Amino acid sequence: MCENLASVDDFEKHAYSVLPKNALDYYRSGAGAQTTLADNKRAFSRYKLRPRILRDVSRRDLSTTVLGEKVAIPFGIAPTAMQRMANPEGELANVRAAQAMGTVYILSTLATSSIEEVAQAAPDCTKWFQLYIFKDRSVTRDLVSRAERAGFKALVLTVDAPVFGIRQADVRNGFNLPAHLRLANFTGASLNKFDDKADGSKLTAYVASLFDATLNWDDIKWLKTITKLPIILKGILTAEDAILAADAQIDGVVVSNHGARQLDGTFATIDVLEEIVRAVDNRVEVYLDGGIRSGTDVFKALALGAKMVFLGRPALWGLAHSGEEGVKKMLRIVRNEFDTALALSGCTNIGEIRRCMVYCESKL
């Protein structure tokens, strides 16, 4: 079913033709006028490659190590909510694809498959759990405990969503979770479903009622007291906050603008990556998401200091095409592109990628 698809863009075009409008608009939309959404992808084109030649690149190793664990490729699957809107198996198909590729899968709190179901579907996959801190701290505590018991290797705390950004498409559509689906990590009625009577986006109303806008650095300290898992902060866009994360002895940060779904008008993530890497000075691992659409994009991010990058929407487009096989095909395409970029830049492994191999012509 995937024979004629040659790029992430091909998968995206197919998804646009088959997904219901409610789901498609939710997956593809950004905040506000969507200027940051466009720039997340466009920004990568401003970074030009400076390849080296006449090097023996006949043998290449694409693996890397994150949080002390070796993975086969330096890109994984970012957390995206409600994946069964794209395919009946949703998160289960996605995590199995990540397992087959030997990479990291991050499960969203707002998943349509539970922590336990995902763990059972891919027991050998390196799984991280994306977390929100709820007003009711017992909800968060329970999620953390379940993730630990299920064998997840890290917590990825989203810190850029004290309130949800304004996503105009979801407002116009009155976005709601399809009736046959549920938020599988919850059992109580107030947590499992959105309020059908809420105006506009039902997800935004859900977030406003349950998520905690008072979240601050003291809550990071609290989270550290209830888990021994590594903690990664997702949603860092400034050197100042990255330094505070390092000072708080956080294990990693994800340079992320939430897929451009929170505050429109922020920098593209690739444009702030290098200053954050310099600011933390190897005190924490630095990852990136947002705008990655090719193996060349992966190469550029690694050259600028990212330890690993994560793809969100491309995995959804793979799911929409053919479930697990679609995601695997998408990941294989990106892997081949990255392998080719590595070789044609004169590198045989990730450790040989140098900052001087990428030049930014302009950030304006």
Active-site positions read 258
Collapsing DSSP to helix, strand or coil, 249 comes out as coil
Report which secondary-structure segment, H or E, holds 308.
strand 308-311
Given a contact cutoff of 8 angstroms between Cβ atoms, the answer to whether 152 and 115 are in contact is: yes
Query: For 305, which DSSP code?
Result: T
What whole-number distance in Å separates Cα of residue 110 and Cα of residue 161?
A: 13
Collapsing DSSP to helix, strand or coil, 322 comes out as helix
Q: Radius of gyration over alpha carbons of the chain, in Å?
A: 19
Q: Alpha helices, DSSP H only, in the chain?
A: 8-18, 21-28, 35-42, 90-101, 115-121, 137-149, 168-173, 189-192, 202-210, 217-225, 239-247, 269-280, 295-303, 313-344
Token code pair at residue 314:
């491309």
264's CB contacts (< 8 A; 6+ apart) are 30, 31, 32, 33, 34, 35, 36, 37, 165
Q: What Cα–Cα distance (Å) separates residue 302 from each residue in 109, 286, 288, 312?
A: 28, 10, 9, 18
Token code pair at residue 162:
């004290």
